[in-house]
Chain A
Amino acid sequence: MNTFRKISQSCFLGATLMLTLYGCGSGSTSGNQEGSAESSHTQKLEIEKPQLTFGFIKLTDMAPLAIAKELGYFEDEGLFVTVEAQSNWKNILDRVIDGQIDGAHMLAGQPIAAGSGFGRQAALVTPFSMDLNGNGITVSNEVWAKMKPNIPADGEGKPIHPIKADALAPVIQEYKTSGKTFKMGVVFPVSTHNYELRYWLAAGGIHPGFYTADNIQGQVDAEVLLSVTPPPQMPATLEAGTIYGYCVGEPWNQQAVFKGIGVPVITNYDIWKNNPEKVFVMTKSFVEQYPNTAIAVTKALIRAGKWLDDPNNRPKAVGILSKSAYVGADSVVIANSMTGTFEYEKGDKRPSPDFNVFFRYHATYPFYSDGIWFLTQMRRWGQIPDSKPADWYSQTIREIYRPDIWSKAAALLLKEGYLEESEIPETDGFKPPTRDFIDGNSYDGKDPIGYINSFKIGNKD
């Protein structure tokens, strides 16, 4: 009897809880389905694997995934996609390689490093580039105060942008003489942030340190010690004084301004105009096993990118991204980094219309030249330890960047009327040589060796 009473007691507890749960939620059962209003007229490919799971990191540039799902672009293609937040870049890479997720939002450097000998090796492919730009470099208030006198000012006394690392060099020297090492944070060893920060520093004559087989922290000969810190922890680490600056994606630069703990000095748009930032990655075996599925995924993502670059759609995009399943931050914070302005020093808001580019400038096309740029930087800083011949660069990138898949997808979209002719680049995969860098150095993807040798600081071949 005693035991029986206890059972029924616990049952009752459960029942009460359930009742309470039901009671307070009743009356709000209406669903709010968000789907594409326009009737779909996509031609469905024969999908080999309709049920898919994609991973992402909580950053605004995962937007194409969220949009393709929420606006029903995936379903238009006959894909049933689950989108799942992942804890960090290492984890996302491992899970794609191990097949736990079918594809993911990744740092552009990740599939390239995985195919070129740095870190965990696996055959990964990129059929879709997710966005351009979107990062910034922030320094602490103290460093900013010391830097500011070194920066030329305009008529109103405002610093002239872009700010070069030359202004930072004396500060680093000052720290050095007082016996302090100058430390800065990046989000991942093969992240765009790492290469951009290094590029910016080296362009100002500051040595960011080499990677060697023994020193995989990349701190050999370094005047600035770079360390890895996850994006959301960046502001807190800066505030704690562990690092004096960092390079990170949004909203973590604006957050520093907002909290008054640091000052963004430059965006990566000014370091390399329209640089590729995140890519969509699947394994090579997936693309080979399910070719139609890969094309269908790319189609949906291209449509999402195009939708995102319509300024009228940005508020709705912010609303979707602020859902807890996606980026989840308050919509005001997300809006701050997607509205086309960038706030440097508190109150110094400047227009930055191309800060988040999802489609314009053929942003979604995976250019070989963009990928090769990452390879040159890996070689420059020693992540690729040995000298490689020029054709190694184009061969390696052809294994990873797959514009062929993009082109098939785009051709279908063109036929279906979702794309215009002008939106498909006529290219051999290489952008024309450009000087759109902060140091004005010329980059031609077809001459990687020459590019590597053109730098003052860095490994030479």
Chain B
Amino acid sequence: MKDKSIKSLKFIGMGFLEPLIRALSGEERKKNFGTFVKGTLFPIASIFLFITVWHFAAHALYNKEASVKIEKARAEQGEEAALEVQNCIRSGEVSCQPNTLPSPAQVWMAYQTLWKDHLDISQKKRDFNQQVAQANSKRADQGLAPIKYTGRPSFLDQIGTSLKTVAAGVILALFVAVPVGIIIGLSEVLRNSFNWLIQIFKPVSPVVWLLLVFMIVKTVVTDPNLDKSFIISFISVGLCAMWATLINTSLGVSTVDKDFINVSKVLNLSIGQNIFKIILPASFPLIFTGLRITVSVAWMVLIAIELLAQSPGLGSFVWEEFQNGANDSNAKIIVAMFIIGIIGFMLDRIMLTVQNLMTFSKA
């Protein structure tokens, strides 16, 4: 019974509760409680500690900014103006609020606003689609593209766009970096000759990649119906992020275990078979380690790239909120920061799983 419930808990990803259940069922109580506290309660406690520190820091900054404002008013316009500013700040009027690091509570409120906003937008989207359903079926008969929703994207839509961009970028990186990595991994001459280029391009900033891609895409893609900003951003993301995969693939290919090469030689495998049956599988662990790095780099550079390419993802969300400079803009930016962090963490987990699946143990 106990083992079964532990097993099912692990299945739904709550394996960290295992020691608690074991302890409750009286099995090595002390040890299991210890494990539970260390493995689960400590991380949770550290999150609370972080929020507490943040809360107090935000308050300190708020007070500092407020007093600076009041002092400034006093120095420049006298006591009366200072009092006015002070009262204005106390009254909570939007126009004179100190604009500084938002507190956790503000961020939570901003999150709820965003969520409500999402629900409103999805409702509008449904209404819109109902409204144009008839027109769309007529357009479909005429062979025209259907009318799409014209409202602004919600926060969740923007997350979706970002995920799509990263996915496309990573796939691009995969299709460019893995074959190139294999080719240069197979030949030491090529490896040496490309090494400089790779070392030069690897540290190039995402912004520069974006501009470079922009120059090329602008010329190559002339069809106005294609979503150029998406094309530009995913190519840039791919180019920024592919280096880890490229280097790891070439390393993996160039260092395939001699034993496997010998097997291939003894079997007289053709070049193609050698690559696909021996070298590639043997390099999978390193390739996937590289891909995992690629995914995290892609997610990291995404924000900067979307911001500049006007792709409607999280990057442009952050930039727009920064530009808006409204009272809750800073809090919304921090919501985005957490969402970006959590998604990045989840992507890394997924890639780790894939990596583990792809890694074989010889022993």
Q: Do the two chains touch directly in the complex (Cβ atoms below 8 Å apart)?
A: yes
Chain A residues closer than 8 Å to B111, beta-carbon distance: 24
A237 interface hit (Cβ, 8 Å): no
Given contacts A324-B326, A328-B323, contact A33 B124 (CB under 8 A): yes
Residue contact A3 to B323, C-beta cutoff 8 Å: no
Distance from B62 Cβ to chain A, minimum over Cβ atoms (Å): 17
A8 interface hit (Cβ, 8 Å): yes
Given contacts A3-B356, A10-B349, contact A232 B323 (CB under 8 A): yes
Tell me the bound Cα distance from A13 to B353 in angstroms: 13
Contact of B353 among A10, A99, A260 (CB under 8 A): A10
Distance from B325 Cβ to chain A, minimum over Cβ atoms (Å): 6
Residue contact A31 to B124, C-beta cutoff 8 Å: yes
Tell me the bound Cα distance from A7 to B308 in angstroms: 34
Q: Please, what's the 1-or-0 string for A124-160, where 1 marks a CB less than 8 Å from any CB in chain B?
A: 0000000000000000010000000000000000000
B3 interface hit (Cβ, 8 Å): no
Contact of B312 among A7, A84, A328 (CB under 8 A): A84
Within 1-59 of A, Cβ neighbours of B (below 8 Å) are at: 2-3, 5-14, 17, 21, 24-25, 28-33, 50-51, 58
Contact-residue bracket for chain A: 35 or more
Distance from B282 Cβ to chain A, minimum over Cβ atoms (Å): 19
B123 interface hit (Cβ, 8 Å): yes
Q: Please, what's the 1-or-0 string for A327-358, where 1 marks a CB less than 8 Å from any CB in chain B?
A: 11111110000000000001000000000000
Q: How many A-B residue pairs have CB under 8 A?
A: 134
Residue contact A8 to B127, C-beta cutoff 8 Å: no
Chain B residues closer than 8 Å to A2, beta-carbon distance: 356
B350 interface hit (Cβ, 8 Å): yes
Stretch binding the partner chain, chosen from B23-31, B47-55, B114-122, B234-242? B114-122
Tell me the bound Cα distance from A24 to B116 in angstroms: 9
Contact of A260 among B76, B342, B352 (CB under 8 A): B76
B277 interface hit (Cβ, 8 Å): no
Residue contact B310 to A87, C-beta cutoff 8 Å: yes
Chain B residues closer than 8 Å to A258, beta-carbon distance: 95
Tell me the bound Cα distance from A12 to B12 in angstroms: 6
Residue contact B224 to A99, C-beta cutoff 8 Å: yes
A217 interface hit (Cβ, 8 Å): no
Chain B residues closer than 8 Å to A324, beta-carbon distance: 320-321, 324, 326, 329, 332
Residue contact A11 to B13, C-beta cutoff 8 Å: yes
Within 252-277 of B, Cβ neighbours of A (below 8 Å) are at: none
Residue contact A328 to B346, C-beta cutoff 8 Å: no
Within 287-304 of B, Cβ neighbours of A (below 8 Å) are at: none
Distance from B96 Cβ to chain A, minimum over Cβ atoms (Å): 8
Residue contact A5 to B116, C-beta cutoff 8 Å: no
Residue contact A13 to B326, C-beta cutoff 8 Å: no
Stretch binding the partner chain, chosen from B33-41, B146-154, B168-176, B183-191? B146-154
Besides A5-B11, A10-B349, A58-B324, 12 new A-B residue pairs in contact (Cβ under 8 A), listed by A number: A10-B13, A17-B342, A24-B111, A25-B118, A85-B323, A324-B329, A327-B324, A328-B325, A329-B325, A329-B326, A330-B326, A332-B94
7 contacts between A and B (CB under 8 A): A5-B13, A6-B356, A10-B350, A32-B120, A87-B307, A100-B229, A328-B323
